[in-house]
Chains A and B, each alone.
Chain A
Amino acid sequence: MPISKQETLWRRVERILPTVTKPGRYVGGELNQLVKDWDSVRTHVALIFPDIYDLGQSNLGLMLLYDILNQRDDIAAERSFSPWLDMEAALRENDIPLYSLESKRSLADFDILGFSLPYETLFTNFLNVLDLANLPLRSADRDESHPLVIAGGQSVYNPEPVAPFVDAFVIGEGEEIILDVVDAHQAWHATGGSKEELLAALAVIPGIYVPSLYHVNYHPDNTIDEITPTHPNAVLPIVKRINAKLPPPLTRFLVPNVEVVQERVSVEIMRGCTRGCRFCHAGMVNRPIRERPLDEILSALKTGLDQTGYEEVSLLSLSSSDYSQIIPLINGLRELLQERQVNITLPSLRIESFTDDLMDELQSLTPGGGFTLAPEAGTERLRAIINKPLSNEDFIATVRSVFNHGWTKIKLYFMIGHPEETLEDVAAIAELCKAVLSEGRRIVGGRTRVHAGISTFIPKPHTPFQWVGFDSLDSIQQKLDLLHQGLHGAKVKMTWNDPKSSLLEAWLSRGDRRIADVILQAWQNGARFDAWSDQFNPAHWQAAFAAVGLDPNFYSHRTRSLDEVLPWDHINAGVKKSFLKTDYEWSLQGKTRPDCRGNCYGCGILSTFNELRLVAPDGGWKCP
């Protein structure tokens, strides 16, 4: 029998594997993986997380889509990840294309490549994957003989920076739309049409954005004049897609054969957030708030544990303590804990929603360990501006309660570079940390550990701060120095992000279509794994901006005028621009907007998705 193409590919891969680090990343074959007979399915989809397996395999969203697609007999969904640098070199040296872990097929053999782009620092890796699959990088250079390249995830709420490389973007939640994309592909495939016809067919699917069907006009000052459709099927704006009801939780988890970052059963308990922190991209774009019923969560955890044998479960949401059934949930978890020997993590707890009851319950659930709080800013004034209002008094009272309940380790998250931030606000962060330390010393003594995690504020699209400029590197450095001074001698451990890496994120999240050339150039300069602090090289990006002839400050530091057409204005995340504008103006007055669970402020979600709400289950949406 002749040796098939993928067999020769795999034979060649097997020979290079012993030469690379952690080769177990590149072989697949995990428990619960699904391998279908290649010729027996109509549509082959490769789901790609463009970072290494160790990170990507833990991505719940990607695995949900894997599960949903594979439930259909006529679809095979397989996985692929970025190779680490040594594996990339070995693949290139041996002229082996990047392949899928299931069938060990070159990515070029697939009908659809679906990229997950949750954050912007994956963009160069995304290009690298296309290149490793021997595919042209630009959509315009690919035709019907190439796979359709689609991308989704939180970063593509501003799709423009990678628009020239992607055939179609999935804006919003992917669970339903992914099947629409496959259906459209199948219908098109049956007719043997051109790529243009496929793109036109995709453009009419709600939530799909085909960037090649739009033209961007610029003003002489480089701001955008207008974004116009160039095809009758291209709609304006492109409204994000959401599910009326949260789809069933994943229970069929893959169990990796080598260690990955998160090995646990994760269940999303709630999607969206009603708090309205003005800096928070996730809180704005993931509206409306939808809760998963308690019994569904607990049964998914049990099934997941049975399926995997994992030792840990994790509940995901933007604000776990706001889950309306939090105490019954914790009680259910405690029963689970007594039944089986598992650890539980419950991230994203809000200071304001803490009651003594909740703390009692939590302490019994996760004894030892640390407690994380995120005041985000050092003063009441600034916390009002960012709409995370909290008095110092209430904060210290919570901290006191945490120590009184027996915790000894507290981790505090802060951001610097907020709009309207002064050096006094920054100095107050250090004071607050020291106040926490002294509370701890008084209550639990010398075992007290305080850790301050400092990140840099990045003004994100679709948030009330989308017009604000990113702080200058000099100013950020000055603020970090001030914190170091303020905490000097105090037993507070401080960690912080590289401001240059935040700056990259600012460029990439706020960019327009022209910045795609910078991304391409940076990748050609050698940029890879920009999310990795030990791999990120700012010089590649500086050189790329210079080569392309764009001013990086135009994208990052400039305060944009309120009537400017923003590069992402044609993407409708459900929250109206006028609402964001008002909220921004309120912030400048120090005016806060309360949690919208109790009172609707008309952000736009309900008017946009009015019909969808009618079909949603009772009580599923927590909008009033």
Chain B
Amino acid sequence: MTTQQEQITRIRLKYTKGPSLRFTGHLDLQRLWERLLRRSGLPIRYSQGYNPRARLNLASALPLGVISEAEMLDFWMDEPLPTGTVLDHLAEKAPPGLVITEVQIVSLQEKALQEQMSASEYQITFYDPQQEDILAEKVAALLAAENLSRVQRNKTYDLRPLILDLMVTRSDTGEIGLGMRLKAEPGATGRSDEVLETLGYANTDYLACRSGLILKV
């Protein structure tokens, strides 16, 4: 059975990656999505060949240990369905921690999501209370630096141009945290843990949450 080309539908989802999925890495997440799509019973479009796989496209790999309120994914279906129906089917079969917050139909002609990525926003919650003025000083010093030479996987790079914004935040309950916007283009992606390490924090000091994905306009 061949599907008529005009029936093919590209769906874009926004979803959360909660604490129970905090340590599910990019490849595991890919498999998790393949299985979720399989369970959903939606008319998923599969790749051709000996080992057919659901065609899907994750916007941006989330580092291990980071939770998210704003992940994005595209997948394809062999026939169009109302977005509400798609949402219902997926929500019913989603694992704990994965909540689909938005479903839209997008043009088949759009570029791959990864190529559309521009920046990521993160919200950092510290496990131990922080002093606002001390944190603000550290942030100011970091932003004032002309370059921040870092080594990752034996390669030296400059972190500073990847930091688009960095600020001290205060939650409704008065907790002091950090907000940041980091460049997330193919080949130039800033990592929140690198920023925090530069500020003197180990990955055991805080919980990072990706709060927004920004696509190129």
B is bound to A: yes
Q: CB within 8 Å of B: which residues of A? A: 11, 14-19, 22-24, 27-31, 33, 255, 257-259, 306-311, 341
Contacts of B27 in A (CB 8 A): 259
Contact segment of B5-13, B14-22, B105-113, B132-140: B14-22
- B25 adjacent to A258 (CB under 8 Å): yes
Residues of A contacting B24 in the complex (Cβ-Cβ under 8 angstroms): 24, 257-258
Within 8 A of A (CB), among B55-78: 64-65
B197 to chain A, nearest CB (A): 12
Contact across chains for A29 and B97 when beta carbons are under 8 A apart:
yes
Cβ contacts under 8 Å, A18 to chain B: 64-65, 203-204
A257 to B97, CA, bound (A): 11
Cα–Cα, bound, A83→B203 (Å): 21
Contacts of A31 in B (CB 8 A): 94-96
Which of B28, B37, B204 contacts A259, CB < 8 Å? B28
Q: Is B95 within 8 A of A309, CB to CB?
A: no
Q: Which 6 A-B pairs have the closest CB atoms?
A: A29-B20, A309-B35, A24-B23, A309-B38, A31-B95, A309-B39
How far in angstroms is the closest Cβ of chain B from A57? Answer: 13
Q: How far is the CA of A30 from the CA of B94 in the complex (A)?
A: 10
Contact A33 B96 (CB under 8 A): yes
Q: How far is the CA of A458 from the CA of B171 in the complex (A)?
A: 64
Residue of A17, A24, A28, A255 with most partner-chain B CB within 10 A: A24
Within the assembled complex, what's the spacing in Å between the Cα atoms of A19 and B122? Answer: 21
Given A15-B204, A258-B28, decide whether A309 and B97 contact each other with a Cβ distance below 8 A.
Answer: no
Are B23 and A27 touching (Cβ within 8 A)?
yes
Distance in angstroms from A538 CB to nearest chain B CB is 34
Cβ B204 vs Cβ A23 within 8 A: no
For the complex, give the distance between the alpha carbons of A239 and B173 in Å: 62
B143 CB–A CB distance under 8 Å: no
Complex CA–CA separation, A86 to B157 (angstroms): 31
Q: Which of B19, B24, B37, B127 has the most CB of A within 10 A?
A: B24
| Alpha-carbon distance A307/B24, docked complex (angstroms) | 20
Task: Give the complex CA separation of A308 and B93 in angstroms.
Answer: 9
B37 touches A309 (CB 8 A): yes
* Closest residue of A by beta carbon distance from B128: A15
**Residues of chain B with a CB closer than 8 A to A259's CB:** 27-28, 31
Q: List 6 interface pairs A-B (beta carbons < 8 Å), by A numbering.
A: A19-B203, A22-B23, A24-B25, A29-B96, A309-B34, A309-B36
Given contacts A18-B203, A29-B21, A255-B95, contact A23 B37 (CB under 8 A): no
Chain B residues within an 8 Å CB radius of A16: 204
Whether the Cβ atoms of B19 and A29 lie closer than 8 Å is yes
B-side contacts of A29, CB under 8 Å = 18-21, 95-97
Contact with A along B175-196 (1 / 0, CB 8 A): 0000000000000000000000
Chain A contacts for B64, CB-based, 8 A: 18, 23
Q: Can you name the residue of chain A whose Cβ is closest to the Cβ of B28?
A: A258
**From residue B64, how far is it (CB to closest CB) to chain A in Å?**
8
Residue in A23, A30, A33, A311 whose CB lies within 8 Å of B65? A23
Is B84 in contact with chain A by the CB < 8 A criterion?
Answer: no
Q: Are A257 and B21 in contact (CB under 8 A)?
A: yes
Instruction: Please give 4 more A-B residue pairs, beta carbons under 8 A apart, in addition to A29-B95, A255-B95, A310-B35.
Output: A17-B22, A257-B24, A259-B31, A341-B46
Chain B nearest CB: distance from A579 CB in Å? 48
B174 interface residue per 8 A CB criterion: no
| A301 CB to nearest chain B CB (Å) | 14
Residues of chain B within 8 A (CB-CB) of A255 are 32, 35, 95
B residues near A30, Cβ cutoff 8 Å? 20, 95-96
Q: Which residues of A contact B95 (CB under 8 A)?
A: 29-31, 255, 257
Which B residue sits closest to A22, measured CB to CB?
B23
Cβ of B52 within 8 Å of any chain A Cβ, yes or no, is: yes
Among B25, B31, B94, B97, which residue has the most Cβ atoms of chain A within 10 A? B31
Interface membership of B215, Cβ < 8 A: no
Q: A27-B20, A29-B21, A257-B21 are in contact. Are A341 and B204 (CB under 8 A)?
A: no
Interface centre among A22, A30, A31, A257 (most CB of B within 10 A): A257
A30 and B27 alpha carbons, distance in the complex (Å): 16
User: Interface readout for B143-186 with A: 1 if CB under 8 Å, 0 if not?
Assistant: 00000000000000000000000000000000000000000000
Least CB distance, A15 to chain B, in whole angstroms: 5
| Most A-side CB within 10 Å, residue of B34, B38, B97, B127 | B38
Asked if A24 meets B36 with Cβ closer than 8 Å, knowing A15-B204, A18-B204, A341-B52, the reply is: no
For window 27-57 of B, CB contacts with A under 8 Å fall at 27-28, 31-32, 34-39, 46, 51-52
Complex: how many Å from CA A30 to CA B35? 13
A118 CB to closest chain B CB, in angstroms?
A: 26
Tell me which residues across on chain B come within 8 A of A310, comparing CB atoms. 35
Contacting residues, chain B, for A307 (C-beta < 8 A) = 39
B207 near A14 (CB under 8 angstroms)? yes
Q: A24–B67 Cα gap in the complex (Å)?
A: 13
Give the residue name and chain of the B residue nearest to A258 (CB): B28
- The distance in angstroms between the C-alpha atoms of A19 and B32, with both chains bound, is 24
Contacts of B22 in A (CB 8 A): 17, 23-24, 27
Shortest Cβ distance from A256 into chain B, in angstroms?
Answer: 9
CA distance A257 to B33 in the complex (A): 10
**Contact partner, B127, options A11, A19, A33, Cβ 8 Å:** A11
Chain A residue contacts of B96, Cβ below 8 A: 29-31, 33
Residues of A within 8 A of B127 (CB): 11, 15
Q: What residue in chain B is nearest A368 (Cβ atoms)?
A: B50
Write out the residue numbers on chain B whose beta carbons fall within 8 Å of the beta carbon of A308: 35, 39
Question: Within the complex, what minimum Cβ distance (angstroms) separates B129 from chain A?
Answer: 14
Write the nearest CB–CB distance from B88 to chain A, whole angstroms. Answer: 16
Question: What is the bound-complex CA distance between A31 and B21, given in angstroms?
Answer: 11
Min CB distance B145 to A, Å, is 26
Q: Which residues on A sit within 8 Å (CB–CB) of B36?
A: 309
- What is the chain B residue whose CB lies nearest that of A30? B95
CA distance A439 to B158 in the complex (A): 62
Q: A27-B23, A29-B19, A341-B46 are in contact. Are A257 and B32 (CB under 8 A)?
A: yes
The closest CB in chain B to the CB of A24 belongs to B23
Nearest Cβ distance between residue A1 and chain B, in whole angstroms?
13
A28 to B97, CA, bound (A): 11
Distance between A444 CB and nearest chain B CB, rounded to angstroms: 20
Nearest A residue to B27, CB-CB: A259
Query: Which among B23, B34, B65 is the interface contact of A258 at CB below 8 angstroms?
Result: B23
Q: Report A-chain residues with C-beta under 8 Å of the C-beta of B25.
A: 24, 258
Report A31 CB to chain B, min CB distance, Å.
Answer: 4
Given contacts A18-B65, A257-B95, A341-B46, contact A27 B19 (CB under 8 A): yes
